[in-house]
Amino acid sequence: MSATALSPATAHYREAFERLRPQLGGTASRRVAAMERFAELGFPGAREEAWKYTSLRRLESRRFVPAAPATTPVDVPAAFVAQRLALVNGSPVGVVPASLGGFALGTLDTAPEDQLLRALGGGGTERFAALNAALSIGPLLLSTTAGQQSDDVLQLTLVTTGTGPTLASPRIAVRMAAGSRARLLIDHVDDGAHEHFTNAVLDIELAAGAHLTLYRLQRQGERAFHIERMEVRVGEHATFVMRDSQLGAALARLDTNVSLDGRAAATEITGVFLADGSRHLDSHIHVGHRAIETTSLQDYRGIAANKGRGVYNGKAIVHEGAQKSNARQVNRNLLLTSGAEIDTKPDLEIYADDVQCSHGTTTGQLDPNALFYLRSRGLSEPEARSALTRAFAGAVLARVDEPALARHVHDELDRRLVRLLEVTA
Amino acid sequence: MLSIRDLHAQIGVRKILKGVNLEVKPGEVHAIMGPNGSGKSTLASVLAGRAGYDVTKGTAHYLGDDLLALEPEERARRGVFLAFQYPVEIPGVNNAYLLKAALNAVRKRRGLPELDAFEFLALIKGKMKLMQMDESFLSRGVNEGFSGGEKKRNEILQMAVLEPRLALLDETDSGLDIDALRVVATGVNSLRSPERAIVMVTHYQRLLDYIEPDFVHVLSDGRILRTGDKSLALELEKRGYDWVKQEASAA
Ligand SMILES: Nc1ncnc2c1ncn2[C@@H]1O[C@H](COP(=O)(O)OP(=O)(O)O)[C@@H](O)[C@H]1O
Ligand SMILES: [Mg+2]
């Protein structure tokens, strides 16, 4: 592809990549191939189905500077759990401990094979996964050994920071060995000082009988752009659980792709998002049932207010031969004020005959009878609205079984709801 | 305490209250009886501040203030309490949270300090015992999965906790068996005092055996057609409402 055919934004990242390349580790040819893939795909056009409700025009108009390897630690918010590692623009600073919170830690340099730069094909965020593969620094590898059981939680705080608008490309691989059990908390933050762009990739693999719970908190600043791609492969009798809280950034898009590859593989993906202010939050979840007796549950609750916009696209595909599978999808949305909008598209494709599938989606406002009941007891309108909104989110938040994190999300919802409801009441 | 003059209210174009007059003084207990659809719940709702009603004529004053100008929460904080005919189920909003938030809102308005969790629990336990409610109700969602009788008891529990000046009870007796009725009546009677007034909407004389009213009113087609003492309730029980309507139209 000739450089002249590239859009200005794409050309910008390719040039920046050339400049940065000497500082990046890994296999140079793979990075170059990844960059070429990004250049080929470019930014999504207005017609692209996967970006129907989310425009990247603003993101494309910016020229973020890809981060170089970080050398100095930065301030990060207090940890929710005892064991925490902070990554600055995707790279660990200083010596990485050999193990922490139930995982063995490695980087690309020490990883047995260069498996992290595997191209992640398909979907609307493939281009960004490729950009990440080209630019990610010191990708982190978390692994367990067969049968290892841990009740600890490892928290990764991913902070995006820079002296100007910065592109951070965190890349994390998780390899759960057969029969192992672990918990991981990923907390996305930024310095709030500039408009930053975080382009993250998570690549997760669970071998037979493994169990991973992933808590995710996206609480980046009001001006942040956040795009994230999560690829999860789940083996026989293995279980992947995600508890997502999408609260921050100006524009965020998360693609979670879960492939249930082995017999009786299971996943449970629950989450809540709060699109207040002029926030735009887009979650795409794609679960592929590829083996018999696989089960999936998706339960997302969205709240939008002011000029906030939410997008939820949940898809489950039961492939041929995935008999006796069970796929459930629930998506409930709440519009708190009249300017807000949530676009939802539950989607079920079934190519097997002996399966159980269900999906349900609702979008509505707070129940006026409940509101009056609470006010007739003396609660102010903002209090009553926030109590009902918390109750709405609470059904999903109750599953966040890590107390400090759950408390944070509850408090954050409270704080933001009371503030916004007082303004609009 | 409560002074209603020529109150007219409608929903959309449908006229429901067509000139209600009612005077309630501190310490009094009033019963409002009347056929289904006569406007009893509408009257209670308008007084509590539910949205959706147009008051086209008339006034309602409470302790000298224009009640209809106040937000529902402000009415509650000033001591107006409505026990709902159909209490609302609110899953996810904790019963204890509501009781505490409501009590503290009322206390704040009265210039009293907020209760901490410990003081609150001490207070609530006694009231729950009175209403024969198990403490496990506290941790459940508001009215969530409560039986009909439990919902009504919960309404009276809230009333006992909030200690209103003016209590409006909308068919708090309907759907209760005789034991539950006794419990509810005990709760209501525990609140009778010279400073407090109670207006209860009911269909049945039964409740009035337990909570003796000073006045009985017959509301029919949006108007109070007749007012008497408790013997009127007995007469209504025997003769129904038609004779009241006939005498009123003859007059
Ligand atoms: N939301 C509403 N819209 C239209 N009509 C209503 C509404 N609520 C009540 N009504 C009507 O108003 C009249 C009075 O109702 P209500 O006050 O509930 O009577 P009561 O409590 O005495 O049985 C009834 O005819 C009822 O159908
Ligand atoms: Mg009624």
ipTM metric: 0.96
State whether the Cα torsion A398-A399-A401-A406 is positive or negative: negative
**Residues of chain A positioned with their CB less than 8 A from the CB of B106:** 378
Residue A371 forms contact with B (CB below 8 Å)? no
**Distance between first and last Cα of chain B:** 30
Of A219, A215, A212, A285, give the one whose Cα is nearest residue A246. Answer: A219
Residue from A376, A386, A388, A414 whose CB has the most chain B CBs within 10 Å, to mutate: A376
Rounded Cα distance, A418 and B57, in Å = 36
Rounded Cα distance, A229 and A318, in Å = 21
**Partner-chain residue, chosen from B50, B77, B105, that has the shortest CB–CB distance to A372:** B50
pLDDT exceeds 90 at position B143? yes
pLDDT at position A113 is: 43
Q: How far is CA A143 from CA A94, A207, A232, A304, in A?
A: 20, 11, 14, 37
pLDDT at position A72 is: 87
Q: How far is CA B46 from CA A373, A413, B17, B154, B163, in A?
A: 13, 33, 10, 22, 21
Rounded Cα distance, A124 and A255, in Å = 8
**Which atom in ligand 1 lies closest to the alpha carbon of residue B45?**
17
CA of B17 to the centre of ligand 2 (A): 13
Q: How far is CA A269 from CA A50, A272, A287, A331, A345, in A?
A: 20, 10, 10, 11, 16
pLDDT tens string B160-176: 999 999 999 999 988 88
**Residues of chain B positioned with their CB less than 8 A from the CB of A378:** 73, 76-77, 101-102, 105-106, 109, 162
pLDDT at position B206 is: 85
The first and second tokens of residue A210, run together, are 């493994």
Which residues contact ligand 1 via a Cβ below 6 A? B 11, 14, 16, 34, 36-42
What is the three-state SS of chain A? CCHHHCCHHHHHHHHHHHHHHHHCCCCHHHHHHHHHHHHHHCCCCCCCHHHCCCCCHHHHHCCCEECCCCCCCCCCCCCCCCEEEEEECCEECCCCCCEECCEEEEECCCCCCCCCCCCCCCCCCHHHHHHHHHHCCCCEEEECCCCCEEEEEEEEEEEECCCCCEEECCEEEEEECCCCEEEEEEEEEECCCCCCEEEEEEEEEECCCCEEEEEEEECCCCCCEEEEEEEEEECCCCEEEEEEEECCCCEEEEEEEEEECCCCCEEEEEEEEEECCCCEEEEEEEEEECCCCCEEEEEEEEEECCCCEEEEEEEEEECCCCCCCEEEEEEEEEECCCCCEEEEEEEEEECCCCCEEEEEEEEECCCHHHHHHHHCCCCCHHHHHHHHHHHHHHHHHCCCCCHHHHHHHHHHHHHHHHHHHHHHC
Amino acid at A197: F
SS3 B77: helix
pLDDT at position B237 is: 86
pLDDT at position A3 is: 46
B 43-72 near A (Cβ less than 8 A): 48-51, 71-72
Name the residue of chain B whose CA is nearest to A393's CA. B92
Residues whose CB falls within 8 Å of the CB of residue B31, separated by 6 or more in sequence, listed in order: B199, B200, B201, B202, B207, B208, B213, B215, B216, B217, B230, B233
CB contact under 8 A, B158 and A377: yes
pLDDT at position A119 is: 44
pLDDT per residue, tens digit, chain A (425 aa), is: 444 578 999 999 999 999 999 988 777 888 898 899 999 999 998 889 999 999 999 999 999 999 998 888 899 999 999 999 999 999 988 888 999 999 999 976 554 444 544 545 667 889 999 999 999 987 899 999 999 999 999 999 999 999 999 999 999 999 999 999 999 999 999 999 999 999 999 999 999 999 999 999 999 999 999 999 999 999 999 999 999 999 999 999 999 999 999 999 999 999 999 999 999 999 999 999 999 999 999 999 999 999 999 999 999 999 999 999 999 999 999 999 889 999 998 889 999 999 999 998 999 999 999 999 999 999 999 899 989 999 999 989 999 999 999 999 999 998 888 887 776 55
pLDDT at position B11 is: 96
Number of Cβ within 10 Å of residue B104's Cβ equals 18
CB contact under 8 A, B162 and A377: yes
